[in-house]
Amino acid sequence: METQAIHPTSSSTRLHMVRRGMIAGLPIMLGYLPIALTYGVLASRTGMTNLELTLMSILVFAGAAQFLAVGMMATGTGIIEIIIATFVLNFRHFVMSFSFVNSLKGIARRAKIPLTLGLTDETFTMSALYKEEANERHGSFFYASLILSAYLSWVGGSFVGGVLGDVMPARLSDSMGVALYAMFIGLLIPSVKRDYKIAAIAVLAMLINFVCQLWGMSQGWAIVVGTVLGGACGIWLLGEEEGEKC
């Protein structure tokens, strides 16, 4: 009896990991909802049916690219151009996925593929702050539930936006545009407080991204270059043991 109490059953640890993942995903759900609603409204105004705009959220699951596609469709851009622009804008997830997979050494390969399919800026940066879970039992359930809660909020919000149209007062939905940026700040600051070198990495990435965009590089490539080069200075800034820790 006592041993059972000390070692919880496998299914209860799974449930526990799912619950923790949902809690970690909650800020993303809150951040996605207003943006997904706005996407749904804009897409239906551009003439997409509810099925099409929801299907795009289900299959693509990349906010910025979906907004870009809707905007380009509205101006009559061709399909091939839209697909190329999506590739350029989303290529940053390739870099993020490398970092994500590298921190998931404790997780089975068959679980990694579905997890990486759910990588967005938000699910990636949030997961990066929960690295210990990868080495815990049933760690994949933690990440799966974090990603799924974000995914359901995105898909559900898109659908509701398409069905209801303008559900929020314009001023409120305008103000909510800052939500994801605030979330990124909220994710970054605790790490910066722990180690100021992290601020150097982030600020360098910001500046590189900014300069690249000033030079006329597309936003997608500029973010890729900023992330890769900014991260590269971590090779020298992060010590051996810090690299392990953060």
Partner 1 sequence: MLIWMIIGMAVVTAVPRFLPVMIVDFITFPKWMDRWLNAIPYAALGALIFPGIMSVKPEAPQIGVIAGLVGILLAWLNIHIIFVVIGSIASVFLLTL
- Between residue 130 and residue 169, which ones bind partner 1 under the rule CB under 8 A? none
Helix (H), strand (E) at residue 61? none
Q: Which of 38, 44, 116, 153 binds partner 1 (CB under 8 A)?
A: 116
Residue 194 binding partner 1, by CB under 8 A:
no
Q: Which of 19, 91, 135, 166 binds partner 1 (CB under 8 A)?
A: 91
By CB under 8 A, is residue 82 in contact with partner 1? Answer: yes
Least distance CB 6 / partner 1 (angstroms): 32
Interacting residue with partner 1 among 21, 25, 31, 161 (CB under 8 A): 31
As a whole number of angstroms, the distance between CA 63 and CA 53 comes to: 12
Q: Residue 30 Cβ, how far from partner 1 at the closest point, in Å?
A: 6
Work out how close the CB of 164 gets to partner 1 at its nearest, in angstroms, rounded to a whole number: 20
- Segment contacting partner 1 (CB under 8 A): 7-15, 87-95, 145-153, 158-166? 87-95
> Which is nearer to partner 1, 13 or 195 (by Cβ)?
195
Within 8 A by CB and 6+ apart from 162, the residues are: 40, 41, 43, 44, 48, 50, 53, 54
Check: CB of residue 191 under 8 Å from CB of residue 207: no
**Does 191 help bind partner 1 (rule: CB under 8 A)?**
yes
Which of residues 135, 177, 194, 218 is near partner 1 by CB under 8 A?
A: 177
The single-letter code of the amino acid at 132 is: E
Binding piece for partner 1, criterion CB under 8 A, among 13-21, 56-64, 140-148, 155-163: 56-64
Rg (alpha carbons) of the chain, rounded to whole number: 20
H or E stretch covering 26 = helix 10-45
Nearest CA to 148 out of 18, 3, 12, 9 is that of: 18
Residue 117 neighbours by CB distance under 10 Å:
12
